[in-house]
Structure 1
Amino acid sequence: MTALEFLSTTRYVYTQLKKYHINTTDVNYIDMVNDYNRMVAEGRPPSRVKSLMQRRYNLSASTVNGAIKRLNRELDIGI
């Protein structure tokens, strides 16, 4: 498969990512944000969970905060 063939078959996904300003590199933080959301839902203090995520995933505070903010934002998809 060529790059052109791949992009042609996934064009819709990429256009939607662009439309909603979703950075493809955020896929690297899906597990971390899922862990964060689960722990906060269990009642743990968000600040302590963020600190744990920094250590567990070896990320800076700004990276953790940014990823959580970006991946938890509501998208207005008009459904």
Structure 2
Amino acid sequence: MQKHFLLYFTDGCHLCDDAQRLLQQTSVSYSKVDIIDDPQLVSLYGYSIPVIQSDNGDTLNWPFDLQQLNDFINLHI
């Protein structure tokens, strides 16, 4: 079974666009979650997006590069 990841982002966030481009260079399945729609997510991630979250809830906060992202993914596959 392929693991699924979440990308916490918001519109207009150029760092979030960068993180999505990195995710697209991997083979993982992911969904985007706009934090602006949930006050709790804004409180949790408002100053740290983009954030990648694994199925078990572990997170990788920005800044990260492709190697760090792949290392995070490999820990959770």
Q: If the TM-score is normalised by the length of the shorter chain, which range does it land in?
A: under 0.3
Higher relative contact order (CA 8 A, sep 6+): 2
Greater Cα radius of gyration, structure 1 or 2: 1
Compare the two structures and name the one with the higher strand fraction: 2
TM-score, normalising length: structure 2: 0.25
TM-score, normalising length: structure 1: 0.25
Compare the two structures and name the one with the higher helix fraction: 1
